[in-house]
């Protein structure tokens, strides 16, 4: 099969190559093309390199290329197109994405320049593409997966390095970063040589694809993807699933980044030292297993610092706060000796279901009459700190 290559470079401003974070992913664009993605992230920006080789498509027939970006989530869904009409005829396209034109708002939509310019440390961006063909239907072949990019400076020491011998096939290496940004934490997850794959641990993905497709290397077959769970103790029992959109591993020496907002972690899944414990489940579908059949799972938990250890000190200061009646049939009184500024109530899955802002009193009443029976957590923000109370609704 003849090979043709088109290289697309996504650059913000000149790169400081002494400190960079590199990632690679393989992909299949429908039946038309094979694709290799590489991202290099530095303090100045991201360079995305896309190399296409022909499968059933013809690179000479490409009319244009579109580039998409998504923040936080590693998925095609909800992505935002940030460039269109890029010609592939020359074989190389340079596209500048320095946030001066393409930023995102809370809905992940392009919103214009935010004044920052430089690529933020710890911000996870996922890139994908679409190839438009020069035919009567303007046929579009899109990425089946994204490639993630995040800038982690070389001098940054992970808060934790966890090696987990899941089984003979898979040995996980997870690095935990909690201080790149105050609002969220990042897990950088890759593979190390295992018993079955001592030389190339990523061959696990290729074998999974071959088993699933019956012999063809179709990178869109999603050979391995993950769900993320949280617990308030270093145990796999009683954990709560938090990530509903699994992150797919690539078919090459790729790293997947799980970013989660610290505020989204259920308060019931944080211990008295401000830590939550993360574990993973892996889907490795093959020809005989269901597409969502989990076959691999963490054997260890991953400690992640969510709040300061001074949270336990705050709880001592706020020990006089009472919640009554508890259990309750509907209404709950919250009262203490400190001025309450705000109360947010979360269900056991971490979803915010009730909020009272600007309370400015040392007591308030929360109405649960329209909520189902179960366990809830009230996060009470006061003038001196924040405390959490468990509420049971009958």
- Please tell me the least confidently modeled range out of 16-20, 51-55, 170-174: 16-20
Q: DSSP letter at 110?
A: B
Mean pLDDT of 336-351: 80
> Please, what are the domains in the chain?
7-149 (no CATH), 160-304 (2.60.40), 311-393 (2.60.40.1930)
Paired tokens of 5: 């290559």
Q: DSSP letter at 100?
A: S
**Residues 50, 39: contact at Cβ < 8 Å?**
no
| CB-based contacts of 207, cutoff 8 Å, min separation 6 | none
What pLDDT is attached to residue 163?
Answer: 92
Give 95-122 pLDDT, tens digit per residue: 666 544 444 444 444 443 333 334 456 6
Mean pLDDT of 195-212: 82
Q: DSSP letter at 156?
A: P
Give 16-35 pLDDT, tens digit per residue: 334 577 888 888 888 888 88
Q: Which helix (H) or strand (E) holds 57?
A: none
User: Whole-model pTM above 0.95?
Assistant: no
Give 224-237 pLDDT, tens digit per residue: 667 788 888 888 88
**Residues 344, 357: contact at Cβ < 8 Å?**
no
């Amino acid at each position: 099969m003849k090979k043709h290559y088109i290289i697309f470079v996504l650059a913000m401003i000149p790169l400081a190559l002494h400190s960079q974070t590199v990632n690679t992913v393989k992909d299949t664009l429908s039946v038309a093309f094979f694709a290799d993605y590489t991202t290099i992230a530095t303090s100045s920006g991201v360079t995305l390199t896309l190399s296409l080789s022909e499968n059933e498509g013809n690179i000479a027939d490409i009319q244009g290329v579109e580039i998409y970006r998504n923040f936080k989530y590693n998925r095609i869904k909800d992505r935002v197109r940030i460039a269109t009409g890029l010609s592939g005829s020359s074989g190389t396209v340079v596209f500048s994405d320095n946030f001066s034109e393409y930023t995102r708002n809370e809905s992940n939509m392009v919103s214009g320049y935010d004044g920052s310019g430089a690529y933020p440390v710890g911000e996870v961006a996922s890139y994908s593409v679409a190839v438009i063909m020069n035919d009567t239907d303007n046929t579009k072949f899109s990425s089946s997966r994204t490639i993630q990019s995040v800038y982690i400076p070389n001098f940054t020491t992970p808060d934790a390095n966890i090696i987990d011998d899941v089984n003979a096939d898979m040995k996980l290496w997870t690095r935990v970063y909690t201080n790149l940004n105050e609002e969220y934490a990042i897990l950088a997850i890759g593979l190390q040589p295992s018993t079955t794959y001592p030389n190339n641990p990523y061959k696990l993905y290729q074998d999974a694809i071959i088993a699933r497709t019956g012999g063809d290397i179709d990178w869109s077959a999603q050979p391995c993807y993950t769900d993320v769970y949280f617990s308030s103790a270093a145990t796999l029992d009683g954990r709560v699933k938090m990530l509903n959109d699994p992150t797919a591993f690539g078919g090459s020496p790729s790293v997947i980044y799980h970013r989660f907002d610290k505020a989204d972690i259920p308060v019931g899944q944080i211990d008295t030292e401000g830590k939550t414990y993360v574990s993973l489940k892996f889907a490795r579908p093959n020809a005989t297993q269901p597409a969502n059949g989990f076959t691999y799972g963490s054997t260890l938990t991953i400690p992640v610092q969510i709040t300061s250890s001074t949270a336990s000190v705050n709880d001592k200061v706020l020990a006089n706060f009472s919640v009554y009646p508890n259990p309750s049939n509907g209404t709950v009184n919250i009262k203490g000796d400190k001025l309450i500024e705000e109360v947010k109530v979360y269900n056991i899955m971490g979803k915010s279901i009730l909020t009272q802002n600007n309370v400015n009193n040392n007591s308030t009443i929360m109405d649960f009459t329209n909520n189902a029976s179960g366990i809830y957590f009230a996060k009470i923000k006061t003038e001196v700190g924040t405390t959490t109370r468990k509420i049971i609704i009958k």
